[in-house]
Structure 1
Amino acid sequence: MTSTFLTLRYVAFALFILFNAVICVVAALNLGSLATGTQKFPEVDAYLIFMGALAIVFLFPAIIVELFRKNAFISRVAVEITWVSIFWIMSLSGAAAMTAIIPELSCLPAGTQLKSTCASSLVLLAFTWLNTIILLAYLIVLIVCAVYHSQENNHVWQTGVRDFKWFSKQHPEQEPPEGSFTYGKIKNPKEPKQPPPVYAQQMGLSKGYQVEPLHIDAAGPAAEPAPPALPTLQNFQFPARPTPALQLNIQGSEPYRTILPPPANVTTPKPPLSLYPEFVQASGGTIPQPPRPAGPTPPPAGSWPRPNPQEPIRRKSRPARELPAEPRGPSSQQDPSGSSSAPRQLPSPPVTVQPSTTRNRPVGPRGSTDPLRVPLP
């Protein structure tokens, strides 16, 4: 497909050069008729000569440079769209001018005065319109192809028309040519191509197997078969549950009655009423019980437990024991051998307290700072 597109491109350029050469020659002949006075619009002929000469001088070097240089500036997609658009506008202007002056030249079957001028004007009119149509068709095709491939390769606008792979199955990311703009896009690193996997053994159906074709019923899909009915049981009775074993009453047995005495009827006190439900009572602590009166037997630990632990303990004071008088005798004196015994205690003289009429003064330093300690007069 790429070769076909490039072939049509070169054909369009060849026709464009050929038609412009014809326009230059005919316009020059038409302009030479000024000496005879038959040409009324020399400006149009001069414009067509300039347009044809410019197209030939520009297009020949562009094709030669494209053949010998890869990604030439003049052959890039964006640049080629620009100069093709300029030549299309120039061709359209020349064709419109020739269409406007045809009635003025009386180039109609009734007019017989300017036959040579009418013939050259009709030739210029035809070739200018042909150039306009060729350039317009090539311009539309080139823009559509560039926009289509720009979705897969963003460097299509900076690549030469001859060097880009048009309409190929695989469009590898091509590097932009040197000195071109990348429109602010970052170049992604290339990933190495992985070779296709090689299978040592190919699995498949042999020649002896045939695939059964699929047949579709026009009436619709077949109904699914109903599940088989379960067998019904008649006169079936479930087995009765086994009766629990009889509980053995040990206390009511004869040996128990004869050996052990009958239990005494002891009345247990009822617990006080509680406002909490049973599950709260089970999870919480026990209900405080009032203290039970102590029996006639004294407690083993004296006054413990006390009825009121916060009350201080009152202990009975015991009388002080009197020391026995120390005997006096020869054993208490010093031994003649020089061994000393316990020191001898002398009787203390009696102390008599005499009544005094004077008042006692406080004892202590006079410079005390205690405000409560005031000397008496």
Structure 2
Amino acid sequence: MSTFFSCTRYAAFALSIVCSAIIASAAVWNLSLVQELDLGYPLDTYLTFLGAYGIANVFIVVSVELTFDRPFTARVWFECLWVLLLLAMNLAGAAYFTTHSPALCSAHGRNVLGNEGCTSNQVLMGFTWLNTSLLFLYLALLVVLTIVRAGSEPQVWSTYIRDISTPGFNKLISPSNARSNVAHAPRQVQVTEEKRPNVPIISIPKPKPRPRRPSSPSSGEDPIGGLRTYYDVEAYPHDPQRHGLASSTILPPSDIPGPVFYSQHMQTMLTLPQTAAIRDRDSQGRTTGPRKSSPPPLGLWPRMDAMSQPIRKRETPKESEPLPPLPSSSDSGPSPRRSLESPPTSPRDRPGGPRRPSATIPKPRPPPLDLSKGKTRVQPIVINTYQ
């Protein structure tokens, strides 16, 4: 409703400005025609002033309201006052113009000016009544809304025009009205108490605490199916055997002298024992043997007593005896090549009997090359050794 009232208000202002401008223009036109007939017609002067006053009044009210936040010109009583004044002025001019027949529409005026004078009178009369009707409708709407609000809000006439139809209108009233409402509040409470003296008091029972159920191995599960709304956290069971086993574990000594040539990091690594004694785990007297440790991945290195060990000489393998030279044949001049064989890695059986020399085939030498002759082609000599 606030949007509807604001749109109606500004639309009425716009139409009032248009009607006032037309009234002022038609009054000036009609006054110029009356002067040609040498007639005294003061109503045209009044209507010219009325049109100019209506335009100026609307422009001033709207500009002041837009410039300042909450001026006194935007209050309900001031709005009703200037609209009522402008309505009365327009109603008086329209009524006087209608009751007195204008001279321009007479026979003498039509003979002198023609239909032009009568047309100006009709335009002036029509827009005067239109402006009067528009102002009357706006004033009636404003007064009706104010009277409706005045029943519940006595200070409605002092409020601002923009808040007259908003839902939070009762919050914008003056402090005096708020004090009056507070003063009336206890009286209303007393009246309501007198009307209903035998109202029973309902006592709300306090909720009983939920019984705590004993914990079970499946305390977090519902016997019907799924998880319950709550669950209990079980305590950690105390095992005395594990506690005794943990306390009976023998820890290695912390200070063991190590070799000087190792760093501190290596000394701490070398001082860890390879085996640890574990006491009896069973309370009935059963004992277990010492735990066997796995062999170290690097063997006995590094050795703690490396400096105290005696120096051992490594035995070098004996060289194998050279084989006897093979007998040379009388046919061939040069001696055959000696075969070099690697010493046997393992003993093997030797054949018995006297040793026989291996058969050798003499290789002939090529004839000496004679370089004194010209280019000679040396023919290769092919010897068949398998004859």
Superposition TM-score tier, normalisation by shorter sequence: 0.3 to 0.5
Which structure has more relative contact order (CA 8 Å, sep 6+)? It is 1
TM-score (norm 1): 0.44
TM-score (norm 2): 0.43
